[in-house]
Each structure stands twice: as C-alpha cells, then as structure tokens.
Structure 1
Amino acid sequence: MTRRTLLKLFILFLLASCSEKPIPQQSNIIPAPLEQVMAKGHFILDGSVNLVSENKLSLVSNYFESYLKNTYKLMFSNTKEDKSIYFQINNSIENEEGYTLTVTPLKILIESKTEKGAFYAVQSLLQLMPAKTKEKSITIPCTKIKDEPRFTYRGMHLDVGRHMYPVDFIKKYIDLMAMLKMNTFHWHLTEDQGWRIEIKKYPKLQEVAAYRKETLLGHYSDQPHQFDGKPYGGYYTQEEIKDIIAYAQQRQVTIIPEIEMPGHSQAAIAAYPELGCTNKKVAVATKWGVFEEVYCPKESTFKFLEDVIDEVVALFPGKYIHIGGDEAPKTRWKNCNHCQQLIQKENLKDEHGLQSYFIQRMEKYINSKGKQIIGWDEILEGGLAPNATVMSWRGVNGAVQAAKEGHDVILTPTSHCYFDYYQSDGENEPLAIGGFLPLEKVYSFNPIPEELNDSESKHVLGAQGNVWTEYMPNEKKVEYMAFPRAVALSEVVWSSPKNMDYADFTRRLESFQKRLDLLNVNYANHLYEISGTTKSIEGKMYYELNTTSKDSPIYYSTDSLPPARLYNGPIPITASMIIKAVVKGKNNEDLSQVFEQRINAHKAFGKNVLLSKEPHKTYSAGGKEALINGVSGSDKRYGDKEWLGFSGEDVVIMIDLGEFKTINSVATRFHNGNGQWIYAPKKINLYFDMGNGKEISFDNFFKPNDSLLVNFKVNLTNIRARRLRITVPNYGEIPAGKQGAGHKAWTFIDEIIIE
C-alpha cells in the first residue's frame, strides 16, 4: 500500500470521525442515584438493538419498549444483533427496589431482584436519554449505576374532595410520580365538600353526597364570604377506579384510599342524616374548613362504615386504608346522650377517648379484612389504635411519639410537605391557602426527626407531599402547586443525604423541566427567582441579593430605574430606598421577573431586639431580626421570613435603640387569618424607659376585626427613650364554631416601625 493510499485512508478516517453524530447527554438523573460512575464511550440506541428479558421482568421490558415506541418512534430488532439491552434477575441485590444499570458501547444491562427495581432502572435509563429528539438513534453515555431508595414509603397525596379531576389527569399524576420513583399515591376521596367514590350499597352517596350547591369564591379569610352559585360535583365509578389502579400497578405505584372518619363527614351525613348525632338534615359543605357534623358512634353508623370499607377493600389491593381521624370537633358528641352513655359504658375518659374507641373499633374491622390503617396524627389523642401507622402533619411531634411507642410513621409536616402553601414571595403568585414553602425548604427536609434514636428511626417509613385542593379548581393549578416541589421531595425520600446538594439539584432540575415541558406540565419555575436579606456587617446595614442559579448574573438599581448595575456584593443601606433587581441571561435577556423590595430605614432599623419567647421553629426563618430589618411581610401570606409566628404564647419584645431618641409613633401589624387559627391580640402594652427613673406605659385595646391584616399604630408626644418594651398577649382560646375551636390561637407579628 502506497503512502498516498495510506494518506487517503487516514483522511477518510478523520472525515468519518468528524461526521455528525448524536452528542452524549450529561447525566442529570433525579432523584440522585446512590452510586454512579461515568465511563468513556456511548451506546447507540436504534433499530438494530435487540431486547432480551427474563419472564419475571417482561412487564417492565414491555413498558420500556412501549415508551420508546411512543416517545421516540423507535422499534427493537427481532433478530439477534451485536447490541442488546438485557433485563435480568439478580437475587444478590438485597433491596426489593434496588437495581444496577450498566451501559457499555455494545450492551445495556439492567439487574434487579424484583419488577420494582427493574422499573426504577428504566426511569434512570430514560433520563440518560434526551427528552426529545428527531434523530433515528439515541446516544446514551456509558455509565455504571448502583442504586436503591433511602425510604420504603415515597408518596404524593391528592385531595379530590374539594375539587375533582378527570381520570386522564389522575393517570398523568401517577405517571409523574413514577418518573420520580415515588411508589405511593394517597387518594383523598371523601370530604365535607364531596364524596368521590362510588359505593353501590348506598346510592345517595352518589346522588347527594357527591354534589354541593355552590363553591366559595376567593379566600376563606375574605369577609364576607362570597359564592359562585354553581352546582359542583361528581364521583369516580368503581370501574374507573379499577382502571386507575391497574394503570398505577404497571408503574409500581400503590394507591391508598382515604375514607374520612369520624370527622370531615358532612357530605355523607347530608346523604344519610341518621349517621350524625342530631338526625337533622344538613347540606354538603360549600366552603372549606372544619365542621361540627361528625359520625355518631352508633351501631348503625359502624354498620354503614363497615359496608363502605367492604367495597373499598374489594377495589384497592394495597396494604393500607387511610381513615383520616383528623379535625373531628367534639361538640356534637358532648351534647349527644348516646355518646355520653357510650363514654360511661366503655369507661372512657372523655370525648377524646371516644374518638380513640371509634378509631380502634374501625381498625379491628379493617384488620379483619387483611388491611392496616393509617391515620393523621390526631389518632394519637386518647390512645393510639394497636396496629395503626401515623401520618404526622402537625409538625414532627406526632411522629416522634408514635415511633417511640413502636408504631410506624410517615412524615408529612406542614413546614416541608404541604404543597398547597405559597412557594414564592412574588405578589403575582396564584391564590393559595397561606404559608410559605419554597423549593429549597422542601429539599432541606430530613424525614428522620432528631429526637429519635437509631432503633426508633427504623419506624420512619418515609415522607409524603400533600396537595389539598381548596384553591385548585383545575388540573393546571394542581400541577403548578405540586411541581417542581414534588421533584425535590422525590430526592429527599430516595437519595442518600451524602449525595444531595441543592446547587447540583437545581442544575439537574433545569434539564428535568424540559421533560415536564414535553409532558405539558404547568410547573412553577422559580429557578431564577431573586430573594433578599437585610444583614448587619460590622455595625452597618446591608441588603444581600441571592438567586438559585449561581451562574447567572444579577443586575440591580436603588433609584427606581430599571436594574442596570451588576451586583457584586451586599448593597449598603443608609436611608430608606427601593431596590430592584433582575437575573440576566447570556444575551442580556431577563431570566427572572423584576424583584422589588422597599427598605424602611426607621429608627429601630437594625437595632438590638430581644424576645421573651422564641417564635415557633416553623415560622422563624427571619429570626428575631425580622421585626426590625426594614422589610414588611407579605400582605397575602403569613409564612414568609418577615412574619414571626408564636403558637399560643404571650410574647414580650424589647428593643434597644442604642441611644435616646424622640419617638413619635410605634406601628406594627398582625395577621388575622382565622381560618388558619391565627388571631390578632386583644390588646398591646407599650412601655418606655426614659432614663433617670422615668417610665411610661400604655395599654392599647383592639376592637374585633375580621380583616386579614390588623394594623396597630400609636402616635406619641413628649416621648424620648432609648429602650422600649412591647407586650403582646396571645388572643387565647379559639371560640366555639371557629376552625381550631378549643385550641390556643397563633399570633403572627410583622415589622415594628418606630418613627
């Protein structure tokens, strides 16, 4: 062979090497695998690939084949080829949901002990592929993954009692869960506002309980209440439910039905008044909240519930039935002769003991059907049913108590798992129930309470995201509230904490959101959203800007003009000002909405503040300094970092101005969202230390007020002081007939402004 021929061959080789080929995708798998090692090379997936599967994994391999056909228009070869994808059983893998995934240039090998593990391997493999391509082949980077979940229970919840959604959307919701390796769908099927499951023995549940005459408009806290005047309702037939269950099973998702008892049962009582204590006719509830109508523990009521359970058990093959058990007012029971006689007969302590009796009796029946119960943490009150699993939503205390008593627990606290809460400080966020739960806070959740030792921690099955739908009238709103917070939670419950890094998660989330785009998911995109914090540096006050996407620059202004200055560090605050900021892309385009923050440099701004009581840890993100940092809280929600929340406690606030100053006014405001158990105080005391033994004190009383926000301001004369003390007594016990009746109210305090 001549040198010229060799040169021609070499040039042809170079040209072939440089020809256009699919570019391997960077690994962006969510949730993060336990172990992953990237290797050189890639596997080309095209029509020349052979698919080989053991019979035990054929359902998963068929799912994979169907997905490729529907998404990428790819078909496997029917003949033996050089390149193959293998699904194999490997009994040495201990975890029932674990798997290994090996990608080499000529072979993809999926190994697992069960179908579940193989299915989760497929989900990881799919994320190694482009979300979409027009190419006739797909390039998959070579890698080796060894993976298994941290928790056995990885759940998402959906309330269809307040608003219900089509069967196709329920399936879409399950598909999204499966993509994220979540394995449990908690389906909340009955409520005061609607009964959503067909029970053939009791047709009035479909005819009456499934429909309400109208629906509340706006927020529950808006006064007076307004309604739309339109009938609303529906239910899922048993055939529809069977179809959804089969669909979920193919995706390794177990469905847990929730049939509420003894509370949240007004819809059922509307259909069958004899189930209540008064036998009086009531209507299906048209607004949200907690209602006095609860099941009366009569033999006929238990017979009704047992009949319902019989039909539910026949439909749902999973291990659990959720019986609710939360927010059951005792007013009807206290005034019911039958209930009081039953308390005496069964030697129960009180109505809480009666609730425990109710739950334990239903547990025995459900156990007799081969099922176990799950209940909200209120089922702990009066004594826990012997075999019950507790779903802890009012913080983690219920989980701690139950785990220490040897019961399994699932964590779903409002602080980290309630996806009906606001997820952004932006004033343009759609209406939500309240609270504040940004993506990063979800990601920071550790489902193992620090109060549990290693042995007790074994009772923590996992965690669940809750989607209560009072303010979600359609599927798009559900998607907006649930995603991407559900994506963050999926990593919390699957991945090892050592592999979790929020900055890396947001990088991978940017890629994952392209998949959500293709699925037409209306997720909330706050990746470039700006947040700000007032901070003291060497005795001087500054405002610090942050955004999740660290690679994108922030531009800002302090003079009401469009943001134009590159942000390089904290902004000095020497006077009141308005800060505007925006995240810019590579082409100087705006990636975020314009952030705007007003800073009020009043006389207490940045001064020393002390509190007699620490705010509740769930509502203390801004710390005590939030009261004097120059930034007022949101007008719409109480859960952002500028509001401090105190649970049932009086609080004394002491402010040191650093020197004697003339004080012309003191102002603050209180959140008064009674629907969330939050009440403004009935009075405030102001005390001023004017030096030289002089002091002055004022008591300021509030008039009853139904406004969501209650403003306080007192104008003063001849007051010159260095220190002042503000005493804020708790409102006290919530009145009967109100949500949370009998409990101590919450107090939420905003910025204290001294002029």
Structure 2
Amino acid sequence: MIRACSPLLRTLLIGLAVLLAAACGPLDAASAGAEETAVPDPAAALVPAPVSLRAGDGRFALSAATPVHAEGADAAAAARHFAAYAARSHGLALEVGSGQGRAGGIRFDIDAGADFGGPEAYAIEVAPETVRVSAADPRGLFYGAVTLWQLLQGDADRTGGVALPAVRIQDAPRFGWRGFMLDSARHFQSVEEIKQLLDAMARHKLNVFHWHLTDDQGWRIEIRRYPRLAEVGGCRIPAGDGGVDPGTGAPVPYCGYYTQAQIRDIVAYAAERHITVVPEIDVPGHAQAAVAAYPELGVTGEQVEVLNEWGVNQTLFNVEESTFEFLENVLAEVVELFPGTYIHVGGDEAVKDQWQASERVQARMRELGLADEAALQSHFIKRMERFLVARGRRLIGWDEILEGGLPPEATVMSWRGIEGGIEAARQGHDVVMTPSSELYLDYLQTDSPNEPPGRPAMVTLEQVYRFEPVPPGLEAERRMHVLGVQANLWTEHARTFERVQHHVFPRLAALAETAWTPADRREYDGFLRRLPAQMQRYRAMGIEPATTPFEVLADATRNRGSVTVALRNPLGYPVRYTLDGSEPGPGSAIYRAPLDLALPATVRAAAFHGGVALAPAATHVFDDASLLVRTDEQLGTCPDTGRLLLRLEDDGPLHGERAIFNVTIFYPCWLWPEADLEGIAALEVRAGRIPYYFQLAHDEPNRKFLPASTAHGELVVQSGGCQGPRVATLPLPAKPDADGFITLRAPLTPTADRTDLCLTFTGDTRPTMWVLDRVRLLPGRPRP
C-alpha cells in the first residue's frame, strides 16, 4: 500500500513564515543555523527568478481599502487575476477600479509604445507610497501580476497585515515555448481538474498546454462526424479486478471524453491566462482506440478492443486514401476547436510490423514509389502537414517524424534525448526540447517508499532544474530554432488527480525557472531556498504537491545489539531529529553523521528551512524484528538481467487504495544485498499477483525467465547473488489467497556470513505475474 501522509497532514507542512525566508548560503548542515535566522528578502519568494531585481527601502502596506487602478479591459483583466490570487492566498479583498483621477495605490498599465523587451516582458516598481506594474502587451502585464502576487508578505488576519517589499523588477522570458503536456488518453481528468492545472501553469508563467487526447487506451475528443470515436474509443475494460464488479462479475468500463463544448470552454479558459492549447491526435501509431471504433481504419480490418495494457502496441492506421480522408475530416474539426498555431500529430513509436506483413500496404508503397516503411511514415506525416498548412496551421510531432524526411515547416519535439532536436535544428526545423531522461514527470522523483506508481528510473527535481535546453554542441546560427522546453506527464500510472498533482508539483516549478530565467541567473541552491515559499503557495491555491522530496529517509545497518542509522533528505535540506519520541523542532539536534544507537531505537526526524518543518516528521523504529524485514522498495534489482524496473499498482480493489510493488518485468527477481543470516533458520516471503498488462513490441525478446519445474512455477532463493547456489525452491500455487497474497516459508541453514540473497519467480505466468511484497528473516534462536 502507499505509505503516504494524509491530505490533512499535508496542509500543515509549511507555515506562512517561510514566505519571508531569504537567501542564506548552501543547503547543508553547516549552514543550518544561518538558514533559520534568515532576513526577509523580496527575491526569496519568486519562482521563476526574474531577469533583474533591485531591492529598495521600506514597504507598501495593503488593506481592503488599497485602491487597484487599471485602465482598459486588458489591464483590468491582469489586475483582477492579482486580486483573486491575493484573496485566496492572503485573505486580502481588493477592489479593481478605473485609474482615472485616482492617485496612489496599485496601478496596472499597458504602454504599447514602450520597449520592455518583448510581448511577455514587464516591469514592477514598488515604493512605500505606490506600486506600478507595466508592460507593452497583456501577456507581459499578466506575468507582472503573477510576480506581484508572489511578492506579497504576511496575512490579512494577522498582526502586521499584508505588505509588498520595495523593489524594482525588469523581467522577460528566455524562451517563447514554455510547455507542459498532460496525457488524458490513458487516464481521464475532469474539466475542473484541467482548469486547475491551467491555473497552476499560468502562475508558473508557462504558456503552452500540450494536450494528449488520443492513444491506444482511449480517444478523448468528440468528433461529430465520427461519433464512435468517443462513444466506443472513449471506453476500455481495465485489466484484472479493476475491470470487474466484485458483486456481479460484470465488466466495469473506464470511460471519458470531452465534448466540443467542453473543449471550447477549456481553450477559452486557457486563453484568458495566455496559454495556448496544442492538441495531439496521434498517427500513424497509438491508433488502437480509433481502430476499435472503426475497424476499417486498421491494417488487418479485424475488430479490436480499446487497449487495456501499457507499453508499445503494434496497431497502426492503414494507408488507404479513405483513411487519409477520415483523418483529414478529424483534423478539420480539431482545427475549428483549437485556434492556436500548432497541431500535434504524434508520430512516435509506430512499430512497422503490420505494415511490413500486409500485402496491401506493400502494394501501396509500390504505387507511391516509396522505398521502405520509414518513407511510408514520412509520406503519412507529409500528407497531414499539407492539410494543416492549407488551413494556416503548423504541424508538430515527436522526433520520430524526422525518419524518412520532413517538410521544412514542421516542428520537432525531441523526446528520445536531445539528439533528435540537434539534428532537426541542423536541418532547419524548429525544436521543442523535452527529453524523457530529464523532463518526463511520470518517472519517480525520489527513492522514497511513499512514491506512487511510476515509470522506471528517476527524474529528480534537480535533473529538471539543471536541464539546459540549448545544447552546447549546437552551432550558434542554429540555436534560434530551439523554441523552448516542455515537461510531459504520461498517465498510465496516474489513476487519480491526486497522483497527477504529486508527479507535477513541485517539479513544474523547476521547469518554469529553466524555461523563463536566463541561464546565467539560474542557481539550484538559490532555487531550493525559494521552493518552500512556492510550496506554501501551492497549498493556499488548493494544490497538493508531492511531499516525498521533503521527507527524511533512513538507511539502517544492523550491528550486534545496535543499529547504525543514516538520515537523508532527497533535496539536501538540513535535518533535525529526536531520539525520545518527541516532535523535532528548530531547536532539536541537527543531523551531521550516521547515528550508532542501541536497540531498540526510535528516531523522529524532519527537514527544516526558515525554522519550519517542510514535511511531517518521519518516525523510524528499529528493533530486532524490523531489521529482519525488507519490503520490495528496500530490495535491489538483480544485475545483468536486462532489467526494466517499474513501480506498479495492484489491479484491485475496484475502488480505494491498492497495493504497490517494485518489479522488473523483464526478469522477476529481487536482491537483498549483504543479508545477515547469523542465527537465521528460515525465510518468509509475502507475494501478490497482478495482471501482466504490457506490450513490449521489439523489446519482447529481452524478457527472460528461469525455467519452471512445476505446473505454476516456483520461487527460487539463491545465496551469494543470482548466480549462486539455490538454497530453497518453493512451488507456487495456482492462485493467491482471497486477499490477493500468498505467504511462502523456506528453511535456511544458519551461517555466520552475510550474503546476497536472490529471489526469483520462475516461468512465464502471463497473463498474470507474481510480485514480491516483503521478505522476513526468521531467527531460530535468540540473537546476541
């Protein structure tokens, strides 16, 4: 199960005092004393950091009587956003009125004749008597309103009220494309949830919402000419217990799509916040939901179901003229719904096996004079591009669209590293950088056991922040083709909006600074000092960000009668702890080195900034029993097994919380390094079973198994690593117990040695797979 704190506890994480925290030196134990006596600094709360900030003397005090002046509709719109933000985060009720004949107060001005440095640039001047936010364009004025809101200090209901520090700011974005992509095809979000994300994007000064609306697992956009796309393609039956009513055994479909009226509403809502929505209609691959609705679009013509598995599927659109006409009719409605310049056509992960095996497709290739399937995909993309250009739009696609050639007007989104972006720029194409290794937000962000399900590997906050969108190896004359940067959230494992928020925040703040702030103004330690203020804003605005980056994790090594405990915070904030079970506070001991503690021991610890705990204190209890247990999160993966580590969720129950497992789907194997077997007489394993819901395409041969010796396979235990001798072989049952788990126990020969214990499930058990939940060592006699 997810071992996370409750939403109520999350709301208590950061006090308003962190809004006054200032720059205070590197985030390490040596600077802990300094960071807790920080002096207020207007720059300390700003994310992203501005181009230029000069602090002044004094402050501007605000109250409900403070006049807010705005002349004209555009200026008034920016002023109203500022007032709405201030009301929600600081309890301050401000009234926006005309600026005519009124002096003092806060003024929002659009000066179209002035040179601020671009349409998204702005200036702010705060003095003790007056405040002015100005820009040449409504976009810049809106971003000025966001920055002014971030400068607010205090609370309307507290002593001292609300104030703005005296400051002068001149600011403009580094990149014109500052994007976030949301996958609504795999899991569906409501209109209100989409709007909440758009609000958050606007407050991060992001301006492109890339909306992934179609895939194998769902078609989420109403197309009036082809109603079955949404009615049929918008529903799937989830794999396993998640798709079955436990009371009746009837299928429970997972459905959802956006009507055209809802889409128009969302597009307008985004435009009010100066965000352009870029829709994605994926071709020629990721097509199974569309083919399920209209089988004649597929290569085989056979009826298929909307896919309920993840991974790389092989269903493609065919290349008949009727299919091109179908897709053009779809795009004609899409163009009417989305007024922005760009339409995304996907182009990624189009496995060509169906095309290669189809006599009809091969005949079409000969008719068209195409040499291979890569050229056929290029033909496909060019056909879409001609249609869009004729309607005043530009095509954008994932970097696979480079294969086989690309029209010069097409824009490339580089996700398989930065190499595709470099090649595209050198060919004269515009580029958006979005490499999976740094900017995929469905990857785990820490190694905490409280992380929700996610993709393999890790994309930390620091990785997002330190990504440089303009490769140093790209020639200077080609760098203009880098339009900007984008982070992507694929939602295979984000079943709830709570998980969407966990994956997105606070990493979206790091992306915002990468996208907005000049490269020479970005500094990671400084960003970490400003991050607590951003976390407080999240909560004030109704966002539940991830708490895992602010937890304190403990790594324990058992000694004879004692334990060595190493504490760490994933972001490096100073850690304070207690050993008597009390709540750690700003006066508690600061952690500097591993603790050697007699058993039993209790360590309570929290990360601090500005004298405030950044997350609820973690309680770590150590005794003989707990030190003999490892959960799947604490176990390692077996080396040299073509591993693909995933953090997967169980398929049931239908509603509510589900168990989560770390498993390598290419080779179901877990490793307990340096297991202390002295006095151990047996090993107990708790395992569960979940659906094997993956399609791996050409990676399928990488999936390996130990051969099974019994009907349902075995759990094999080896000592000395995964090439060592077998010390136990336990046959597996045909199915788990009623609770979805089994418990297996194997005798072990006691030894005085530490050894690497390897645990592997044998056989190919698809369509299900066994997953390990925890391992316990059972002593045969009291340990010294």
Deviation digits for residues 139-179 of structure 1 (CA, Å, limit 9, x no counterpart) = 22111001111211111111111222222222221111001
- Tell me which moved more, 442-451 or 388-397: 442-451
Matches within 5 A, 1:290-439: 290-439=312-461
Q: Give the deviation of 1:450 after TM superposition.
A: 3.9
Q: Give the deviation of 1:346 after TM superposition.
A: 3.1
Matches within 5 A, 1:640-655: none
Kindly provide the amino acid, as one letter, of the partner of residue 51 in structure 1. Answer: H
- Tell me which moved more, 462-471 or 472-481: 472-481
Aligned to 1:88: 111
Larger RCO (alpha carbons 8 Å, 6+ apart): 2
SS at match of 1:435: strand
Residue among 531, 551, 573 paired with 1:550: 573
Instruction: Decide whether the 8 Å contact of 2:438 with 2:459 is kept in 1.
Output: yes
Residue among 503, 509, 518 paired with 2:525: 503
Q: Give the deviation of 1:267 after TM superposition.
A: 1.4
Distance in 1, Cα, partners of 2:456 & 2:349? 18
Distance in 2, Cα, partners of 1:596 & 1:676? 39
- Unpaired runs of 5+ residues, structure 1, are 1-22, 221-226, 536-540, 602-611, 620-634, 649-654, 656-671, 689-695, 708-714, 718-723, 727-733, 739-755
Q: Give the deviation of 1:415 after TM superposition.
A: 1.9
TM-score (normalised: structure 2): 0.70
- Unpaired runs of 5+ residues, structure 2, are 1-39, 88-92, 244-248, 558-563, 629-638, 646-658, 667-672, 674-689, 707-717, 737-746, 750-755, 759-763, 768-784
Aligned to 2:150: 127
Q: Give the deviation of 1:40 after TM superposition.
A: 0.8
Distance in 2, Cα, partners of 1:327 & 1:338? 22
Aligned to 1:241: 263
Kindly provide the amino acid, as one letter, of the partner of residue 81 in structure 2. Answer: Y
Matches within 5 A, 1:128-147: 128-130=151-153, 133-134=156-157, 138-147=162-171
Residue among 186, 193, 217 paired with 1:162: 186
Residue among 267, 278, 285 paired with 2:289: 267
SS at match of 1:280: coil
Relative to structure 1, the CA distance from residue 36 to residue 556 in structure 2 (aligned partners, 3 Å threshold; closer, same or farther) is: farther
Residue among 177, 192, 205 paired with 1:181: 205
Q: Give the deviation of 1:544 after TM superposition.
A: 6.5
Residue among 83, 94, 109 paired with 2:132: 109
Residue among 59, 62, 79 paired with 1:65: 79
Q: Give the deviation of 1:506 after TM superposition.
A: 3.0
Q: Give the deviation of 1:534 after TM superposition.
A: 10
Q: Give the deviation of 1:489 after TM superposition.
A: 1.1
Distance in 1, Cα, partners of 2:204 & 2:613? 32
Aligned to 1:172: 196
Instruction: Decide whether the 8 Å contact of 2:218 with 2:236 is kept in 1.
Output: no
Distance in 1, Cα, partners of 2:227 & 2:240? 29
Identity of aligned residues (%): 34
Instruction: Decide whether the 8 Å contact of 1:556 with 1:567 is kept in 2.
Output: no
Aligned to 1:51: 69
Matched, 1:193 2:217: yes
Distance in 2, Cα, partners of 1:458 & 1:532? 46
Distance in 1, Cα, partners of 2:361 & 2:344? 24
Kindly provide the amino acid, as one letter, of the partner of residue 593 in structure 2. Answer: P
Kindly provide the amino acid, as one letter, of the partner of residue 463 in structure 1. Answer: V
Q: Give the deviation of 1:68 after TM superposition.
A: 5.1
Q: Give the deviation of 1:423 after TM superposition.
A: 2.5
Distance in 1, Cα, partners of 2:213 & 2:44? 39
- Tell me which moved more, 522-531 or 23-32: 23-32
Aligned to 1:451: 473
Aligned to 2:50: 33
Distance in 2, Cα, partners of 1:254 & 1:401? 26
Deviation digits for residues 484-506 of structure 1 (CA, Å, limit 9, x no counterpart) = 11122111111123333333323
Q: Give the deviation of 1:185 after TM superposition.
A: 0.2
Relative to structure 1, the CA distance from residue 375 to residue 582 in structure 2 (aligned partners, 3 Å threshold; closer, same or farther) is: same
Relative to structure 1, the CA distance from residue 570 to residue 384 in structure 2 (aligned partners, 3 Å threshold; closer, same or farther) is: farther
Distance in 2, Cα, partners of 1:594 & 1:28? 26
Distance in 2, Cα, partners of 1:422 & 1:146? 36
Size of the aligned set, in residue pairs, is: 677
Distance in 2, Cα, partners of 1:509 & 1:160? 28
Deviation digits for residues 287-328 of structure 1 (CA, Å, limit 9, x no counterpart) = 333322211011000000111111111221111100011122
Instruction: Decide whether the 8 Å contact of 2:177 with 2:208 is kept in 1.
Output: yes
Instruction: Decide whether the 8 Å contact of 2:292 with 2:306 is kept in 1.
Output: yes
SS at match of 1:279: coil
Kindly provide the amino acid, as one letter, of the partner of residue 101 in structure 2. Answer: K
Kindly provide the amino acid, as one letter, of the partner of residue 495 in structure 2. Answer: P
Residue among 477, 481, 501 paired with 2:503: 481
Deviation digits for residues 17-55 of structure 1 (CA, Å, limit 9, x no counterpart) = xxxxxx9977511111111111112223453535143xx
Instruction: Decide whether the 8 Å contact of 2:547 with 2:615 is kept in 1.
Output: no
Distance in 2, Cα, partners of 1:389 & 1:365? 15
Instruction: Decide whether the 8 Å contact of 1:412 with 1:465 is kept in 2.
Output: yes
Q: Give the deviation of 1:352 after TM superposition.
A: 2.3
Relative to structure 1, the CA distance from residue 51 to residue 563 in structure 2 (aligned partners, 3 Å threshold; closer, same or farther) is: closer
Kindly provide the amino acid, as one letter, of the partner of residue 135 in structure 2. Answer: S
Relative to structure 1, the CA distance from residue 170 to residue 545 in structure 2 (aligned partners, 3 Å threshold; closer, same or farther) is: closer
SS at match of 1:370: coil
Deviation digits for residues 83-106 of structure 1 (CA, Å, limit 9, x no counterpart) = 051443353223332221111223
Instruction: Decide whether the 8 Å contact of 1:68 with 1:74 is kept in 2.
Output: no
SS at match of 2:548: coil
Matched, 1:42 2:63: no
Q: Give the deviation of 1:208 after TM superposition.
A: 2.0
Distance in 1, Cα, partners of 2:166 & 2:614? 36
Instruction: Decide whether the 8 Å contact of 2:554 with 2:620 is kept in 1.
Output: no
Distance in 2, Cα, partners of 1:218 & 1:448? 46
Residue among 141, 163, 167 paired with 1:118: 141
Q: Give the deviation of 1:368 after TM superposition.
A: 1.8
Q: Give the deviation of 1:513 after TM superposition.
A: 2.3
Distance in 2, Cα, partners of 1:573 & 1:344? 74
Q: Give the deviation of 1:252 after TM superposition.
A: 0.7
Relative to structure 1, the CA distance from residue 389 to residue 277 in structure 2 (aligned partners, 3 Å threshold; closer, same or farther) is: same
- Tell me which moved more, 448-457 or 580-589: 580-589
Relative to structure 1, the CA distance from residue 67 to residue 562 in structure 2 (aligned partners, 3 Å threshold; closer, same or farther) is: closer
Relative to structure 1, the CA distance from residue 534 to residue 503 in structure 2 (aligned partners, 3 Å threshold; closer, same or farther) is: farther
Q: Give the deviation of 1:82 after TM superposition.
A: 2.7
Instruction: Decide whether the 8 Å contact of 2:577 with 2:606 is kept in 1.
Output: yes
SS at match of 1:156: strand
Distance in 1, Cα, partners of 2:556 & 2:368? 59
Instruction: Decide whether the 8 Å contact of 1:88 with 1:110 is kept in 2.
Output: no
Alpha-carbon RMSD across the aligned residues, in angstroms, is 5.6
Aligned to 1:18: none
- Tell me which moved more, 386-395 or 545-554: 545-554
Relative to structure 1, the CA distance from residue 163 to residue 111 in structure 2 (aligned partners, 3 Å threshold; closer, same or farther) is: same
Residue among 202, 208, 220 paired with 2:226: 202
Kindly provide the amino acid, as one letter, of the partner of residue 311 in structure 1. Answer: E
Q: Give the deviation of 1:376 after TM superposition.
A: 1.3
Deviation digits for residues 235-254 of structure 1 (CA, Å, limit 9, x no counterpart) = 22222222221211111100
